[in-house]
Amino acid sequence: MKFTTQFFTLVAASIALVYSYPNEKGEDLSEKKPENTDGSKFSDFFADLFSKDSNEDNNEDTSKNDNFSNGLIDSSCENALDEYEDCLSDDSFFDKENTEMVCNIYNSQKCQKLFQEGVNIIPECKDIGKTMKFLVERIIKLANFDLSYKCTKDEKGQYCPLDVFNADERHHKKEGKTSNTSKEDDKLYSEALTETCKSQKCTNALLNTLSELEAIENELKSLFSSIGDIPSKFKREDDEKRTHDAEEFLLANNCTELAAKLKSVTSDASSSYKFGSALFISLGLLLFTLF
């Protein structure tokens, strides 16, 4: 599967996850689709964004970036990126049966070099332009944070409880088994979160993931602010609160003492872990016409 196809599979899975999860009002978001601030499609203003990027430096040869004006990436760069397709793995593939295999690939020298040095290691992508480089780098960073947490093991050499929970969910969906009810999921999630508290490695890994996702979200906000108030159209208003609640829970002196309170905070905390997928919505929509 191509690098770009692999990424959009991940985007699709993330969109399905976030938009199938009820918000605080109990509304089903599956029928709601993000719009631009003036109601038009995102593709209508991509040309302006890349045109602006291409003309930032008057000394730059903008002819190299002409392809960005109509939303395309240079084919040589795309083909070079495809050579790293095995370094990405979408949720539909990553389940309890192949976790070890995927993590071995993630930890390979080839993939770690990509995650540590980014697109700079790919000569074919050196002239893709500032905005496109920014976006491709975020794809790589998001994949790194996602896989880094999924491949983290606790002090006993076992994968972290919260990701075991998610891996089981993915496996059930893959096998076509009946999903748990929301109450059952909440119970299993609360148990996994409590177990996470028992491992310093897993707790630190999750906190780091949440922190890094917030940082990328802020970077995307800065980019989007240059072309309008886009994030407010698709970012759920309670994301920041949920993220804060999850971090507060994990940072407690003894977070296992909060287990008794899980019944009231489970839904918010659960969404906090899932909120990172919303970033794939924003990035996915922005990149949808670029490949």
Residues 83/110, Cβ–Cβ less than 8 Å = no
Q: Note the pLDDT tens digit of each residue in 164-209.
A: 776 666 555 656 665 556 667 667 777 777 788 888 888 888 888 8
Task: Write b or e for each residue in 196-215: b if 16 or more Cβ atoms lie within 10 A of its Cβ, otherwise e.
Answer: bbebeebbebbeebbebbbe
Q: Which pLDDT score is estimated for 25?
A: 41
Residues 77/122, Cβ–Cβ less than 8 Å = yes
pTM over 0.85: no
Ranges 29-43, 47-61, 272-286: which has the least confidence = 29-43
Tokens representing 130 are 């500032």
Ranges 50-54, 89-93, 165-169, 226-230: which has the least confidence = 50-54
Average per-residue pLDDT for the chain: 63
In this prediction, residue 125 has a pLDDT band, given cuts at 50, 70 and 90, of: confident
Tell me which of 281 and 94 has the higher pLDDT: 94
**Total count of domains within the chain:** 1
In this prediction, residue 115 has a pLDDT band, given cuts at 50, 70 and 90, of: very high
Domain holding 163, by residue range, is 3-287
Residues 242/275, Cβ–Cβ less than 8 Å = yes
| CA gap 190, 96 in Å, rounded | 19
Q: Note the pLDDT tens digit of each residue in 56-103.
A: 444 444 444 333 333 446 788 888 888 888 887 665 556 667 888 889
Q: Which pLDDT score is estimated for 30?
A: 38
